[in-house]
Structure 1
Amino acid sequence: MRALARKGKSAAVRLYRGYNRRKVQKAPPPSTKQVRILLLHSNGMGGTIRTVFNLAGYLAEHHDVEIVSILKEAEEPFFPVDPRVKFRFLDDRLNPSADPLRAVLSKMPSKIMPKEESAYHRFNLWTDLKLARYIRSLDTGVLIATRPGLNLAVAQLALPSVITIGQEHVALRTQAEPIQELIKWRYRRLDALVTLTKADLRDYREALPKKPKKLTRIPNAVPPMAGDVAKLDAKVVVAVGRLTRLKGFHRLITAWETVAAAHPDWKLRIFGAGPQEENLAQQIVEAGLTGKVELPGPTSDVGAELEKASIFVLSSRHEGFPMTILEAMAKGLAIVSFNSPHGPKEMITDEVDGLLVKPRTNANLASSIIRVIEDEQLRRDLAGRAVETAHTYDVDVIGEKWDALLAELLARRDGTYVRPQRPQPPEPSEPVAPEPQEPSEVRPQSP
């Protein structure tokens, strides 16, 4: 029976590959004119959404860009987006279709998404069907996916005539083991894999037995923000992020008990929404920090809130590439961050444009915040150099890296790619023998 099953599976694979070959033969030539970006929920809140909007706006200058959202669970985008960018929603949960098939399939668990994917519970067989149909409908252009489950689906389902790019916003080492195994064997089918950090790039180079055609690092760009840099005269410390355990705001509140005791005139504001909101509010009350720690909720204008503060704190022990650090740097705030091994450690030069807290304890976090509060010159020095660092992440600087990547992937497809020559070390020069000297003329001495 097993042998029969193996034969049946291999026959199905051959049929599938043959079907792909026939579709590719009829497909238009490779192109980067159309760029589609897959997102879980484009109208939600989160760093990935904001950075995708930022990238889409840049690419829309020279490409037809469409953000393809798996879900629609809010009527309008939370973040502003370039009007040239189009939107498509695969599963509109605000206005579900009356399709009887949807009623049945939406009650069944997803087969495309790995169970260990953090968004697995957001998918079902109906979203599987809509996603698979969409990916299989494409026969040219560029398709960019933005999370492991979507990267795996694109690697498995996209026609070979489509240029496929997986973008990773979460470090490989933080992924569940079953997902890492799928990544090792499926990501090789992608045209490119883009990481946000050098550390993650190294991990992928070591982990993947066979690699995509291009494995590279392109960090996120600073999104455009209105207003000016902070004046650093407000006695306000800011933190921003989704209110989950992963972001470590419960640790920050614990650390603030020490800060508030030393500097009761300073205030902590934590912007965001999420499942931990009620727990954090209760922790603030129980710690006697009412009025000293605020939870104002989410904000669509992060820049305006950063401008009203003097210090930004990141309390996550693990991060991919936190956009909030870049935004705070661009607004000229002094940064205090846990020394997370990937994003913050690469983004911040300790004691230069921010402070990295190590070891990552609540007491050390409190001590670093107090140090920046009490040393105004340090606060202004860190903030000034943070603005300089932020300029290296300007949209045009990062956008040029995406331009170069798309141009290279297209050249690889149409046969015009020329592999850059590695500079050869100079050949050692041979020692030059000294020229023979003419024998000096011996003049006879006068008698």
Structure 2
Amino acid sequence: MKITLVISSLAGGGAERVLTNMANYFSMHGHEISLLTFDDGRSPSYNITGLVKWNPLNISGVSRSIIEGIIKNLRHIYILRKAILNSSPDCVISFMFTTNIIVLMATRFLSCKVLISERNYPKYIRERRIIWIWLRKILYPLADHLVVQTDSIKEIFRSHNRSVQVIPNPVCIDPERIKDMPEVLLTTCNKIVAMGSLTTQKGFDILIDVFASLYMHYSDWNLIILGEGDLKSELKSRTRELGIEHAVVFAGWVGNPFSIMSRCDLFVLSSRYEGFPNALLEAMCCGLPVVSFDCPTGPRQIIQHGINGLLVPPEDKDKLKRAIQCLMEKKEMRECMGKNAKYVSKRYAPDKIMTKWEKLALGG
């Protein structure tokens, strides 16, 4: 079967990682895979196998006005349609909100099946994207299937498409990658680790404030933050204001986060909202106990409270502090939860998850 996958870029991010893994998995299971991205292809964050035909279209960019945006997007639709036709797909799979809309326009009246997927909690979209929100309501019904990651997101999109399917993210970590030497120098003290883009969504401002209040009494702990983003300077300044800059490591984007996470003691997800957090799954797969805000959506589906991690009310600094402190003080509890956490690798094994995608693509 010929499958064409479409996403804006292969920059570091959860959706990008999942789509890359999907491309590699399908290509190794006998499908002919084309991957179209809107970027220039200069700096992919994830590795693609040689079996996947990757075509970076170099059409991404920022528009300075609504008129310029309309003209650019019409051009994008034309270029994308031409690339899709050249790949002769039986099925097109698109990831991410605005990419889905452009794909639905580009595939209008083509004979191939079209699957679109929302990858985040939709209620936090900025108001200035009202035109895109309107287009989503108009165009999403044209897709053969709309894939989301949780039942609560399915309820939000129930009126957008006649076939809304729930497929969570897969997780699979090569044990050899865990054994690799970490890309950053790790201290011998106890370590909390967090991972994600340095944006408002991920709540690292909350985590830094909470860690600062804990560090006063637990100076043998450090905080390691993996990821890049627009708030990096602001977050670093905050650590200096709180006097903890020597105890917080901004490691940036790393190619192999698993070798770092597996050498830490505790993972914290401080997000204000998610779709289905890859970072949380990957930390648990590495055998880490986790503390997470019970934010929309994903953590509640992944974490069994008190068994493989702890859930706390969204954006509640005091309860986040108490949960982290509990695991800081109780090594046996950390070890027990970490052992239980590894079972997510069976619940969300690639074979289970990709089979669901394959059934939809083939005609399910």
**Same fold (TM > 0.5):** yes
Q: Which residue of 2 aligns with 1:34?
A: 2
Q: Aligned equivalents of 2:31 and 2:189: distance in 1?
A: 43
Secondary structure of the corresponding residue to residue 304 of structure 2: coil
Of 51, 60, 70 in structure 1, the residue corresponding to residue 18 of structure 2 is 51
Of 183, 204, 210 in structure 1, the residue corresponding to residue 157 of structure 2 is 204
Q: Aligned equivalents of 2:350 and 2:324: distance in 1?
A: 30
Q: Cα gap change, 1:126/1:228 in structure 2, threshold over 3 Å: closer, same or farther?
A: closer
Q: Which residue of 2 aligns with 1:168?
A: 118
Deviation at residue 110 of structure 1 after TM alignment: 2.2
Secondary structure of the corresponding residue to residue 262 of structure 1: coil
Q: Aligned equivalents of 2:201 and 2:289: distance in 1?
A: 23
Q: Which residue of 2 aligns with 1:412?
A: none
Deviation at residue 138 of structure 1 after TM alignment: 6.3
Q: Determine if contact 2:272/2:295 at 8 Å carries over to the other structure.
A: yes
Give the % identical residues: 27
Q: Which residue of 2 aligns with 1:396?
A: 351
Q: Cα gap change, 1:106/1:37 in structure 2, threshold over 3 Å: closer, same or farther?
A: farther
Q: Which residue of 2 aligns with 1:63?
A: 31
1:218 aligns with 2:218: no
Q: Which residue of 1 aligns with 2:54?
A: 87
Q: Cα gap change, 1:107/1:128 in structure 2, threshold over 3 Å: closer, same or farther?
A: farther
Q: After superposition, what is the alpha-carbon deviation per residue over 1:25-73, rounded to whole angstroms, capped at 9, x for unaligned?
A: xxxxxxxx1111111112x21111111111111111221111101111x
The residue identity in structure 2 corresponding to 1:251 is I
Deviation at residue 107 of structure 1 after TM alignment: 12
Q: Cα gap change, 1:126/1:359 in structure 2, threshold over 3 Å: closer, same or farther?
A: closer
Deviation at residue 137 of structure 1 after TM alignment: 5.6
Q: Aligned equivalents of 1:399 and 1:136: distance in 2?
A: 25
Q: Which residue of 2 aligns with 1:148?
A: 97
Q: After superposition, what is the alpha-carbon deviation per residue over 1:245-274, rounded to whole angstroms, capped at 9, x for unaligned?
A: 221111110000122112100110001111
Secondary structure of the corresponding residue to residue 383 of structure 1: helix
Q: Cα gap change, 1:359/1:245 in structure 2, threshold over 3 Å: closer, same or farther?
A: closer
Of 290, 310, 321 in structure 1, the residue corresponding to residue 245 of structure 2 is 290
1:247 aligns with 2:202: yes
The residue identity in structure 2 corresponding to 1:172 is P
Secondary structure of the corresponding residue to residue 110 of structure 1: helix
Mind listing any 5+ residue stretches in structure 2 that lack a counterpart?
180-187
Q: Which residue of 2 aligns with 1:21?
A: none
Deviation at residue 163 of structure 1 after TM alignment: 0.7
Q: Cα gap change, 1:273/1:363 in structure 2, threshold over 3 Å: closer, same or farther?
A: same
Q: Aligned equivalents of 2:37 and 2:264: distance in 1?
A: 34
Deviation at residue 278 of structure 1 after TM alignment: 0.8
Secondary structure of the corresponding residue to residue 372 of structure 1: helix
RMSD of Structure 2 on Structure 1 (CA):
2.6
Q: Which residue of 2 aligns with 1:272?
A: 227
Deviation at residue 198 of structure 1 after TM alignment: 1.5
Secondary structure of the corresponding residue to residue 345 of structure 2: helix
The residue identity in structure 1 corresponding to 2:112 is V
Q: Which residue of 2 aligns with 1:343?
A: 298
Secondary structure of the corresponding residue to residue 185 of structure 1: helix
Q: Determine if contact 1:106/1:125 at 8 Å carries over to the other structure.
A: no
Q: Which residue of 1 aligns with 2:184?
A: none
The residue identity in structure 1 corresponding to 2:286 is K
Deviation at residue 242 of structure 1 after TM alignment: 0.8
Q: Which residue of 2 aligns with 1:357?
A: 312
Deviation at residue 364 of structure 1 after TM alignment: 1.6
Which deviates further from its counterpart, 155-164 or 168-177? 168-177
Structure with larger Rg:
1
Which deviates further from its counterpart, 79-88 or 193-202? 79-88
Q: Determine if contact 1:136/1:157 at 8 Å carries over to the other structure.
A: no
Q: Cα gap change, 1:131/1:310 in structure 2, threshold over 3 Å: closer, same or farther?
A: same
Which deviates further from its counterpart, 287-296 or 74-83? 74-83
Q: Which residue of 2 aligns with 1:30?
A: none
Q: Cα gap change, 1:236/1:37 in structure 2, threshold over 3 Å: closer, same or farther?
A: same
Deviation at residue 172 of structure 1 after TM alignment: 2.9
Deviation at residue 106 of structure 1 after TM alignment: 12
Q: Aligned equivalents of 1:140 and 1:253: distance in 2?
A: 47
Deviation at residue 128 of structure 1 after TM alignment: 4.5
Q: Aligned equivalents of 1:146 and 1:217: distance in 2?
A: 14
Aligned length: 349
The residue identity in structure 2 corresponding to 1:244 is T
Deviation at residue 133 of structure 1 after TM alignment: 3.6
Deviation at residue 93 of structure 1 after TM alignment: 8.0
Mind listing any 5+ residue stretches in structure 1 that lack a counterpart?
1-32, 95-104, 113-122, 410-447
1:330 aligns with 2:285: yes
Q: Which residue of 2 aligns with 1:443?
A: none
Q: Cα gap change, 1:108/1:188 in structure 2, threshold over 3 Å: closer, same or farther?
A: closer
